[in-house]
Amino acid sequence: MRTVWGVIRVAAAAGIIIAIVGQFAKSLSMVPDPTFFVVNFLSFFTILSNALAAIVLLIGAWLAFRAPADPTWFNLTRASIVTYMATTFVVYNLLLRDISLDQATTLPWSNEILHVWAPLYVVLDWVLAPGRRTIAWQRIWTIAIFPIVWVVYTMIRGAITGWYPYPFLNPAVSPGVGYDGVTVYVIAIAAFILLVGAGIIGISRSAWPYRAVAEQPEAAPVEAPVAR
């Protein structure tokens, strides 16, 4: 069963990579300043979370072919990425689906893969794929590190360049009063990320649809006897 999920993960990662590259190539051909565009493109939470998801899926596929369960470090990393992708799905469909962003023309099929189908897949992978380990509740703060760093980076860079990846982060256009309006959105999304992270951790501790691997030290590799 692990091997089957490994194959599926490779296919899912390939789809994500194709979607990212397709959108990048399309947008790059329509912008006057390629350097500024590349940094902007890589500053979208959607692009970052999907790129990380593709990497994690490929690593997860390799582990699925080689081991009966995921190592602890990878299990927590995977839980974090699932949280970010689920957040991408919800934020896009609630706040951004009908908004045209300024990174040139978007590819409809790429947009749907990155904002809908890839997030749905990684969530299903977390729920259904065997090999996950239980995660301690206090690890939720580890899951929150990347979004915090991203928001800080985005707001500092936006104040310098005047460019923000999403309208609700731009004090000039955000509903409300400047940074106060942005703060409301940031707090709401941060709370949602913590809520999703709690759900992901809760799933890791559930016995459905199979009993998760208990949180315990991984067995040390058996060393071959040394000839004397």
Q: Rounded mean pLDDT of 161-190? A: 85
Q: Tell me the per-residue pLDDT of 33-81, one tens digit each, with 9 for 90 and over.
A: 888 999 999 999 999 999 999 999 999 999 999 998 899 999 999 999 9
Q: Tell me the per-residue pLDDT of 96-139, one tens digit each, with 9 for 90 and over.
A: 777 655 555 788 899 999 999 999 999 999 999 999 999 999 99
pLDDT at 161 over 80: yes
**What is the residue extent of each domain of the chain?**
2-204
What's the number of CA atoms in the CB half-sphere (13 Å) around residue 84? 27
Give residue 30's pLDDT band: very low, low, confident or very high (50, 70, 90).
Answer: confident
The amino acid that residue 83 corresponds to is T
Q: For 212, left (φ over 0), alpha (ψ -120 to 50), or beta? A: beta
Interior angle at CA 8, CA 60 and CA 213, nearest 5 = 45
CB atoms within 10 A of CB 24: 18
Query: Would you state the structure tokens that stand for residue 106, as one six-digit string?
Result: 């978007």
Q: What is the pTM of this model?
A: 0.88
Q: How far is CA 160 from CA 124, 153, 155, 228, in A?
A: 39, 11, 9, 67
